[in-house]
Chains A and B, each alone.
Chain A
Amino acid sequence: MTPLVKVDDLAMTFDVSQPWLNRVLERRPRTLLRAVDGVSFEIERGKTLALVGESGCGKSTVARLLVGLYQPARGSFIFDGSDAHASFRSPQGLKLRSRIQMIFQDPYASLNPRWKVGDIVGEPLIEHGVQADAAGLGERVAQLLESVGLSRADASKYPHQFSGGQRQRISIARALATNPEFLVCDEPTSALDVSVQAQVLNIMKDLQRKMGLTYLFISHNLAVVRHVSDQVGVMYLGRLVELADKHSLFANPRHPYTRMLLDAIPKMRDTGQARTRVQGEVPNPLDPPAGCAFNPRCPHANERCMRERPVLKEFQGIRLACHAVDEGRIA
């Protein structure tokens, strides 16, 4: 079966140079920030790929590339067999956009406070011409609200009348309005409390089962990722360092960075046990280290790691970018 989403060598560069005059006077070159630097993955229909990593690793940039908010600097995104970024620009772009929708992190910022919930959820229906007549529109909005566990009467309320978890459900209802196949969820529960997070995650799982949705789920919380995903990609400074199915990644993490992330999670049970001390911090993305970007923090780094950048390649059924594992220096 061909995957619904196929991303190949996707890259995004931001120009963060000084203004032109400063560059001329101070003789500074342009400064480029490589937010995403050659990321490749596939997602099968009906499955969930999670991307994890720390702030600034480029996971949100990947999300924005996939919904067409950014134009990639390099690489391609094939959606259902055709080049998505070519069609985003073409007259058929609107059709494609209705099939790919996004859920944002902060439900307090992503809903217009001056609009009623009915208008917020109904807007994509009108915009994409799915539902034109007023009566049908109201009915569809009510259906959507009920599908995420809200009531049809909520359509006439304003966002401020809802709690954070309810607002995130409104965002989900809006994203579902156009019957999308692929949902890009950028940290959908990180602004929520744990008990509310559980409600939202359960709804997302339910909807996936009923409607066969495909998710790209972005999160920094490994416990949440473990709960929702089928496959997990670990990102570090704009690159994937490990891509594996959920069970092998959590049972047998291979990349030293993945191991460090897993060790860093505070454990609820067996307390008292000291966790492995994490070393160092994420380097400045404007000036990433040569070779493997993780080498300054890696306990297994050698001279080759500082010189040669490892590429993501097949390794015992998963994909991995690490010299140390590749050479058998670590198990």
Chain B
Amino acid sequence: MSLLQVKNLIVEFPSRHGTLRALDDVSFEIAPGEILGVVGESGAGKSLTGAAIIGLLEPPGRIGGGQIMLEGERIDHLDAQAMRHIRGRRIGAIFQDPLTSLNPLYTVGRQLVETIRAHLPVSEQQARQRAITLLRDTGIPAPEQRLDHYPHQFSGGMRQRVVIALALAAEPKLIVADEPTTALDVSIQAQIIALLKNVCHQHGAAVMLITHDMGVIAETCDRVAVMYAGRLAEIGPVHEVINHPAHPYTEGLMAAIPDMTQDREYLNQIDGAMPRLNAIPTGCAFNPRCPKVLGKCRVERPDLMHAGASRAACWLHEGKAS
């Protein structure tokens, strides 16, 4: 059974000029222990998907339809009180900026102990011991001393390690990591990505890794979901999506990334920009920018269809059985 199941998820923002659909009919699953990458441009809805899963949609945003199931149990309609028992205990979260996810007034030890004791029936002493183990697991030197330091005494990379330790504190089955390395330098990013991958594997946690960096996805994930204008464009095994993209948007995205192995005078570009939420074209959202557009694309919205080992929301793959 899959650990997380998202079915036809819709997230809406009511506004003066009508309701805006920021996520439109998004469905995917995450298996236990799996790392799913979610990639897309700013505004494609990747962070919103993560926020909907951990129950942290900012009002007036709301779930307008669909279901989110965690281990077979619906969690999308739970109230704030019930959600608080799931968040941290069963779903951990890692955000982009480690400085804003830690409380600057408490030592990291106090924050870890508080989190552990909120979710697990352990004594202060046991929680402290566990906090030390977690910090050691995440590669922080001299954890016994570091426990009593404040967040400002840590560097950016070390803070993100503390945040990862916090997310793992109550042994959740799923971790939603929203751009965990974007605020870090490339040499630190490499360390954090390797750490995230290893530690989650050790603790048996699945990860939903949200990022705009295809390189990070390629190195970390088992499968990847590509989002465009609030919809899933393509989802499949990571090598398949990178080497044989099935959706023209994925293809354009891959070609636009400057490559370290080839020399090109000009980069391939996708002309135009992603549509705004109030101006999403009918049919396929990508049709005005698509080089392979068909008549049908302008009229009817494609569902995810089998395309090799992946599935893509594109009429080009209509009728091709897997």
Tell me the bound Cα distance from A223 to B190 in angstroms. Answer: 15
Q: How many inter-chain contacts with C-beta < 8 Å in the A-B complex?
A: 113
Partner of A223, one of B218, B238, B258: B258
Chain B proximity of A263: nearest CB distance (Å): 8
| CB-based nearest A residue for B216 | A266
Q: Which chain A residues border B218 with CB–CB below 8 Å?
A: 266-269, 271
| Complex partner residue of B219 from A163, A164, A205, A271, CB under 8 angstroms | A271
**Residues of B in contact with A, size category:** 35 or more
User: What mask results when residues 268 to 291 of chain A are scored 1 for a CB within 8 Å of chain B, else 0?
Assistant: 110100010110011000000000
Interface members, chain A 226-272 (any B CB < 8 Å): 226-227, 250, 260-261, 263-269, 271
| Contacting residues of chain B (212-268) with chain A, CB-CB under 8 angstroms | 212-216, 218-219, 238-239, 242-243, 252-254, 256-261, 264-268
**Residues of B with C-beta under 8 A to A261:** 186-187
* Cβ–Cβ contact A54 & B185, under 8 A: yes
Q: Does the CB pair A269–B261 fall under 8 Å? A: yes
Interface contact B258-A224, CB-CB below 8 Å: yes
Docked complex: B260-295 residues within 8 A CB-CB of A: 260-261, 264-271, 273-274
CB neighbours of A221 from chain B (8 A): 186, 258
Contact of A199 among B190, B215, B253, B269 (CB under 8 A): B269
| Given A195-B270, A199-B269, A281-B157, CB of A267 within 8 Å of CB of B260 | yes
| Number of A positions contacting B (CB below 8 A) | 39
A199 to B267 CA separation, bound complex (whole angstroms): 8
Residues of B within 8 A of A33 (CB): none
Given contacts A194-B214, A202-B266, A227-B264, contact A268 B190 (CB under 8 A): no
In the complex, what residues of B have CB within 8 A of residue A199's CB?
Answer: 269, 271
Q: Give A124 to B16 CA distance when docked, in angstroms.
A: 39
Contact with A along B180-211 (1 / 0, CB 8 A): 00000111111101100000000000000000
Whether B187 lies near A54 (C-beta < 8 A) is yes
B258–A226 touching, CB < 8 Å: yes
B8 lies within 8 A of chain A by Cβ:
no
Q: Using an 8 Å CB-CB cutoff, how does the interface string of B39-75 with A read, 1 for contact, 0 for none?
A: 0011000000000000000000000000000000000
Q: Which of B185, B219, B256, B271 meets A194, CB within 8 Å?
A: B256
Contact with B along A119-139 (1 / 0, CB 8 A): 000000000000000000000
* Contact A205 to B265, CB < 8 A, known contacts A264-B187, A281-B188: yes
Q: Which of A281-310 contact B (CB under 8 A)?
A: 281-282
Contact indicator A267/B185 (Cβ below 8 Å): no
Question: Interface readout for B147-168 with A: 1 if CB under 8 Å, 0 if not?
Answer: 0000000010110000000000
Residues of chain A within 8 A of B265, CB atoms compared: 205
Specify the chain A residue showing the minimal Cβ separation from B273: A163
Complex-state Cα separation, A260 to B253, whole angstroms: 27
Please name all residues of chain B whose beta carbon is closer than 8 Å to the beta carbon of A271 when the two chains form the complex: 218-219, 238-239, 242
A196 at the interface (CB under 8 A from B): yes
Residues of chain A lying within 8 A (CB to CB) of residue B257: 194, 223, 268
Whether the pair A268, B259 counts as a contact (CB closer than 8 A) is yes
With A54-B187, A220-B185, A268-B214 in contact, do A164 and B258 touch (Cβ < 8 Å)?
no
Residue pair B267, A266 in contact (C-beta under 8 Å): no
Whole-angstrom distance between the Cβ of A9 and the nearest chain B Cβ: 27
Q: Which residues of the other chain, A, contact B253 by a CB distance below 8 angstroms?
A: 194-195
Instruction: Give min CB distance, A108 to chain B, whole Å.
Output: 11
B186 touches A198 (CB 8 A): no
Complex: chain B residue closest to A202, CB-CB? B266
For A55, list chain B residues within 8 Å (CB).
185
Instruction: Name the CB-closest residue of B to A191.
Output: B42
Partner of A202, one of B238, B243, B269: B269
Q: Is A222 an interface residue (CB 8 A)?
A: yes
- Listed by A's residue number, 23 A-B pairs whose Cβ atoms lie within 8 Å are A55-B185, A193-B212, A194-B214, A195-B270, A199-B269, A220-B186, A221-B258, A223-B258, A224-B258, A226-B258, A261-B187, A264-B186, A266-B218, A268-B215, A268-B257, A269-B242, A271-B239, A275-B190, A278-B188, A278-B190, A278-B191, A281-B155, A281-B188
Given A193-B42, A193-B212, 13 extra CB contacts under 8 A: A194-B212, A194-B256, A220-B186, A223-B260, A265-B260, A266-B193, A268-B218, A268-B257, A268-B259, A269-B218, A271-B239, A277-B194, A282-B185
In the A-B complex, the 3 residue pairs with the closest CB atoms: A266-B215, A198-B256, A198-B267
